[in-house]
Amino acid sequence: MALSQKPWLANYPSGIPANVDVDSYASLIEIIDENLKKYANLVAFSNFGKELKYKEVDRMSKDFGAYLQSRGLEPGDKIALMMPNMLQYPIALFGALRAGLIVVNTNPLYTPREMKHQFTDSGVKAIIIAENFAANLAKIIGETKIKTIILTSVGEMLGTVKGGMVNLVIRKVKRGVPKFDLPNTVGFKEALKQGKKFTLKRRQGSPNDTILLQYTGGTTGVAKGAMLTNRNLVANMLQIYNVMLPFLEKEKETVLSPLPMYHIFSFTVNCLAMMTMGAKNILVTNPRDLKSVMKEFQRYQISIMTGVNTLFNALLNHPDFKDLDFSHLKGCVGGGMAVQKPVAERWQKVTGCFLAEGYGMTESSPVASCNPIDGSGWLGSIGLPVPSTDMRIVDDNGMPLPMGEIGEIQIKGPQVMKGYYNNPAATEKVLKDGWLSTGDIGKMTEGGFFQIVDRKKDMILVSGFNVYPNEVEEVIAGHPKVLEVAAVGLADEKSGEVVKIFVVKKDKSLTEKELKTFCKENLTGYKVPKAIEFRDDLPKTNVGKILRRELKGK
């Protein structure tokens, strides 16, 4: 494709290549092995102040992989990882991959019904689960193929004193571990101890082997397992590495990871890609506890941070946040949902650091595009396609549209999934000729920057006019008395649909009349909300994404 067809290349910051050699590593574990050895004496992960060096993660993950093999697990078998951010996660992940297993990341907050679907659909045979969520597993374990259960606690790897205190608070004070009855469980530390008695039988695997079943959020129906291969994840690691390298220093970066690593954004960007820099990864177990997020700014010189719009917004609205030391921040990246312009502007004002919005999907491993983290990007856009990636805008018939026209965003690149597990019909709907249909509506600017207008399914049709909730939400989020907002379509006899908004107040004095006046001043008539409902909070996924679906029936 010529430069005229890839206009974004002209706007790549110096040092970012047009393409990466995605075949330089045969498997994900090959690149993980290399980095664990290269940065052996540096701190790899920290949780509650407890640190593990790369060489310790290397050794423990080998022991863990050997233990899994000793339990009869074979290459290609599936293992579920079900825990928040904690030191056990990377050890279990790398150990499972070294044993040749397929990892199935699982949201710990799943209901028993959701767990059962994911475990039976994927056919997992083993699970490592935090005790906080074991009661739900106990309810459905008999309906799955799971035979190996490794149980852990938040404090298990934190040392006797600190770990004991953390577990005491969770179990006794917060009553965060409901009673459960699970057969034949083994503790995480015991598994490591047993694993030392065995020798890991290494299995390299080939580029097109599926190594991760990453289930889509399920917010639009039954969750589907995206089959991500060695090549997919190696490609995305190298793409992210090359996009960030010009702005960062190897062996010098400290990355704050408040988003759970079972989520594809944090999994690939934080857990995997940052290894290539020899970065120190700070794991936040409960990002809803804003004090625990801010504490890491006091404990470490944070230079990189990833998050979602709701987290950045919540931090900005905490009275103590502005007093933290942001002098070491080099880059902040928002993903998972749209970063609202008022939030990004305020973030830069408070921290002095540009909040770069990135874009991707579970199905693209996930990163497809990103704004340069140095602030040279375009606020309000999802940035430029990453190296070795094509993006385009198509009409309803799948035909490419000219620059500036609004249509569906499609992605093509080595990070695009193999397909949905056991679901060829769903795969055929989104993958055609290597192009991934995202379901997102957007446009491309002359400079090759892409802009999201909205999700196809969330679009509101008012008297034949398209209203995009993102636009409405962004305008209203700019009101100084608004904390959070979500816009949905409400059925209407006259116009088909009207806009309804759900608002969480920042200032209790905010009135419906005041907000409607503000909307009329900033939005075309048909976009102005006809109904406003004030709420104490808005329903969100565990990573902070507002669930419009749950509000539509309200």
Q: DSSP string covering 160-179, please?
A: HHHHHHHHHIIIIIS--S--
pTM listed for this prediction: 0.91
* pLDDT value of residue 218: 45
Q: What is the DSSP letter of 427?
A: H
C-alpha distance from residue 194 to each of 100, 154, 419, 445 (Å): 19, 21, 37, 57
Bigger pLDDT: 9 or 463?
Answer: 9
The Cα 41–Cα 53 span in angstroms is 6
- Report the pLDDT averaged over residues 243-252: 96
| Listed residue (336, 363, 362, 358) closest to 436, CA to CA | 363
pLDDT digits (tens, 9 = 90+) for 32-41: 999 999 999 9
- Report the pLDDT averaged over residues 15-22: 96
The tokens describing 202, both together, are: 């290494």
* pLDDT value of residue 554: 65
* pLDDT value of residue 485: 96
Integer Rg of the chain from CA = 23
pLDDT > 70: percent of the chain? 98
Indicate if the pLDDT at residue 159 is higher than 70: yes
Q: What is the DSSP letter of 251?
A: T
Q: What is the full DSSP assignment across 186-223?
A: EEHHHHHHHHTTS--------TT-EEEEEE---TTSS-
pLDDT > 90: percent of the chain? 84
Indicate if the pLDDT at residue 543 is higher than 90: no
Indicate if the pLDDT at residue 480 is higher than 60: yes
* Helix/strand/coil for 379: coil
Indicate if the pLDDT at residue 2 is higher than 80: no
Indicate if the pLDDT at residue 150 is higher than 60: yes
Please provide the average confidence, as pLDDT, over all residues in the chain: 94
Q: What is the full DSSP assignment across 1-40?
A: --TTT-GGGGGPPTT--S---TTS-SSHHHHHHHHHHHTT
* pLDDT value of residue 541: 84
The answer to whether the beta carbons of residues 108 and 154 sit under 8 Å apart is no
Indicate if the pLDDT at residue 455 is higher than 90: no
- Structural domains of the chain, with CATH: 53-204 (3.40.50.980), 458-552 (3.30.300.30)
Indicate if the pLDDT at residue 468 is higher than 70: yes
- Report the pLDDT averaged over residues 119-132: 98
* pLDDT value of residue 220: 43
- Report the pLDDT averaged over residues 521-548: 91
* pLDDT value of residue 3: 46
pLDDT digits (tens, 9 = 90+) for 252-297: 999 999 999 999 999 999 999 999 999 999 999 999 999 999 999 9
Bigger pLDDT: 26 or 336?
Answer: 26
Half-sphere exposure of 481 (CA within 13 A, CB side): 11
Q: What is the bridge-based pairing of β-strands 482-492 and 496-505?
A: antiparallel
* Helix/strand/coil for 74: coil
pLDDT digits (tens, 9 = 90+) for 188-198: 999 999 999 99
Band (pLDDT 50/70/90 cuts) for residue 401 is very high
- Report the pLDDT averaged over residues 10-19: 96
Longest CA span, the chain:
73
Indicate if the pLDDT at residue 435 is higher than 50: yes
The tokens describing 29, both together, are: 């574990």
* pLDDT value of residue 530: 96
C-beta pairs of 512-521 under 8 Å, 24+ apart in sequence? 514/481, 515/476, 515/479, 515/482, 518/476, 518/479, 519/475, 519/476
The tokens describing 14, both together, are: 């110096």
The answer to whether the beta carbons of residues 73 and 79 sit under 8 Å apart is yes
The answer to whether the beta carbons of residues 136 and 107 sit under 8 Å apart is no
| Listed residue (439, 399, 469) closest to 224, CA to CA | 439
Q: What is the full DSSP assignment across 125-154?
A: -EEEEEGGGHHHHHHHGGGS---EEEEE-T
Indicate if the pLDDT at residue 202 is higher than 90: no
* pLDDT value of residue 79: 98
pLDDT digits (tens, 9 = 90+) for 405-414: 999 999 999 9
Q: Match 């104490």 to its residue by tokens.
A: 536
Surface-to-core class of residue 176, CB atoms within 10 Å of its CB (0-12 exposed, 13-18 middle, 19+ buried): middle
Indicate the angle between helix axes 28-38 and 54-70, nearest 10 degrees. 140
Band (pLDDT 50/70/90 cuts) for residue 217 is low
* pLDDT value of residue 337: 76
Indicate if the pLDDT at residue 303 is higher than 50: yes
Neighbours of 200 (CB within 10 A): 20
The Cα 523–Cα 485 span in angstroms is 15
Indicate if the pLDDT at residue 240 is higher than 90: yes
Bigger pLDDT: 466 or 90?
Answer: 90
- Report the pLDDT averaged over residues 30-54: 98
pLDDT digits (tens, 9 = 90+) for 160-172: 999 999 999 999 9
Cα angle 292-337-271, degrees, rounded to a multiple of 5? 55
Band (pLDDT 50/70/90 cuts) for residue 434 is very high
